[in-house]
Amino acid sequence: MTDKILSYFQRCNDLQSFSMEELQQIANISKLVSFAKGRDVFSIEHQDRYLFVVGEGMLSLRLHHRHLSKKFMEGALFGEIILFSDRGRLGAIHCLEEVELVAIDKLYILEANEFLSDKLRFKMLHQMGAKMASYFYHDQNKTIAELLEEMESEYLEFKASTAEGNWDGMIRTIAGFMNLNGGTILCGVKDGGGELAYFLTDKHKVDVFERNFRNKMHQHLGQNLPGIHFDLQQMGKSCVVRIDVDPSTFPVFYRKNLNNPRSKEYFYIRSGNQNYPIQMTSDIVRYIQRRFKNKSA
């Protein structure tokens, strides 16, 4: 069982900074739990005791106070709010299919014990606290100044300018955002973030860029795409063009060679701060069946 838990931990982006020795300690305070399709995870037994890592299957989150939802797939971590609040969960986690989760017991993180070192407990609290801080509002609700303080991520990418040489990479990023949970591109920011690229433009030039870029994007990705929103903001002596991308309700494919109607199409998803093309047809089919289940264009 421990080996299986460790294999699930190694898929989890939120645990990538932990060593194998640390993951082994966390595995010692964890257990595997399974839920049938249609079940809610936060039962009376689990609602105030565990945070979870998804090992197999897919779940959806719906927040109680807003009509927002998000899907959790293999490698996702959720439920960390119980480490910081005793006011109850903020939403419902529903199993879209049969799932297997790793349940991590919060008591061993919050209280000194023989299984976790104090250093590891504090590291976990710091990591989960940073994750919680990112939830206060979605990247698309943050100001450009706030986004500039962040690093490139699953939801955020920086480009130095709107130059046509950047368009291909930006279109692949948009496809990756659409096929996952959406995101934001900031043009006029040096790679790595935090530093403006002294990119100068004006509203007219942005309008021309938007029109030409949309035409190019539709050639690569097709028509009837989800919402893509352009905005220009002056930042000191420079400018930043902001592109917010909504998640798609249908799979979006990227066609590279526009001169060949039989050109191969690629299916990108966002993984960390990279655009990842799923190579195997069977993996693409499996992902689409899970990500776009019960969705309509």
Mean pLDDT score, 165-194: 89
Tell me the domains of the chain and their CATH numbers. Answer: 2-133 (2.60.120.10), 139-291 (3.30.950)
- Supply the pLDDT for residue 134: 60
Query: Residues near 18 by Cβ (< 8 Å), separated by ≥ 6?
Result: 9, 26, 123
- Supply the pLDDT for residue 297: 45
Contact 199, 144 (CB under 8 A): no
Report pLDDT digits (tens) over 93-103.
888 889 999 99
For residue 45, name the pLDDT band (cuts at 50, 70, 90). very low
β-bridge mates for residue 244, sequence order? 184, 229
Q: Is pLDDT above 90 for 170? A: yes
Mean pLDDT score, 127-143: 70
The closest of 45, 42, 43, 46 to 61, measured between CA atoms, is: 42
Report pLDDT digits (tens) over 48-67.
789 999 999 988 876 544 44
Report pLDDT digits (tens) over 240-295.
899 999 899 899 999 987 777 677 899 999 888 889 999 899 989 988 988 887 55
Query: Residues near 167 by Cβ (< 8 Å), separated by ≥ 6?
Result: 213, 216
**H or E stretch at 63:** strand 59-63
Between 124 and 238, the more confident residue is 124
- Supply the pLDDT for residue 203: 76
The closest of 200, 195, 186, 174 to 253, measured between CA atoms, is: 174
Between 71 and 156, the more confident residue is 156
Q: Is pLDDT above 80 for 46? A: no
The closest of 79, 71, 85, 94 to 249, measured between CA atoms, is: 71
- Supply the pLDDT for residue 66: 42
Alpha-helix runs per DSSP H in the chain? 2-10, 20-27, 107-110, 118-133, 144-148, 167-178, 203-221, 281-291
Three state DSSP letters for 14-38: HHCCCCHHHHHHHHCCEEEEEECCC
Report pLDDT digits (tens) over 192-236.
666 787 777 777 888 889 999 999 999 999 888 878 888 888 887
Between 18 and 237, the more confident residue is 18
- Supply the pLDDT for residue 191: 74
Q: Is pLDDT above 90 for 119? A: yes
